[in-house]
Amino acid sequence: MTVRRALALVIGAVVCAGALGTGCAQQPSGTTSRDSQPPGTSASPPASAQAGPRHSFPRPLPGVGPAVRARLPDASRQALVVTGATESSNRAEAVVWERHPAQGWRAVAGPWPAHNGLRGWTDDHEAGDLRTPIGVFRLSDAGGRLPDPGTRLPYDQDPEFAVSGTGHLGEPLEGSFDYVIAIDYNRVPGTTPLDKTRPLGEDRGGGVWIHVDHQGPTNACVSLSEEHMRALLNVLDPDKEPVIVMGPASVLAR
């Protein structure tokens, strides 16, 4: 081998080694670098970055915040939520909800229009204040002038549920107590809604019912149309320990 040929071989080896060291080597056949992927594609993220399994949680009672939810009896699986727009409003909306172990609370009836006390709502109800008590109360007893429409609640049909006269807007009150459900505010549960016993005293009011709407605000009760009263009586189940959750939206959301 001549000196000139040996020198050429040495120079060629040095140039090839330099090219490999600067990343210019050709990609192996059938592979593509991250930078050379076609537009609009991306490499799969590492396993640690991929989304894990989704978890679902039981739905809380809609429109009802944690402070009010804490007042729900643990065993209650039915709730009639009656929501007013403001503390002074005497019109409201009513929805019946049921609690299921996996899904949480689901609507089963409503929404229905409702009336409440002429002067709105209060968390310190007194007799004659024309306001509906705010809070969570059990629904345990029903009755009315008309026969039992098929409710599972204890039902007292009695002619004493008759009412006459006019309401706050001059509307007739006749038929308002054809169907009633006692709200367990200042009363003895397990008795007819006609029972006038007031455990908290007469000054705290009483006789707060859900009854048939007379197209006007009430003294303190909640009223629904006759059709919706029958539907409510038929859906309430004492085994589910039903309650009413009622008040203005801003208070219920607390």
As annotated, the active-site residues are 211, 221
Neighbours of 48 (CB within 10 A): 5
3-state secondary structure of 11: helix
DSSP letter for 14, please: H
- Judge whether 94 and 183 are in contact, CB under 8 Å: no
Phi, psi of 139 (to 5 degrees): -120, 105
Phi, psi of 98 (to 5 degrees): -125, 145
- Judge whether 245 and 195 are in contact, CB under 8 Å: no
* CA dist 39 → 36, 46, 57, 156 (Å): 9, 20, 39, 76
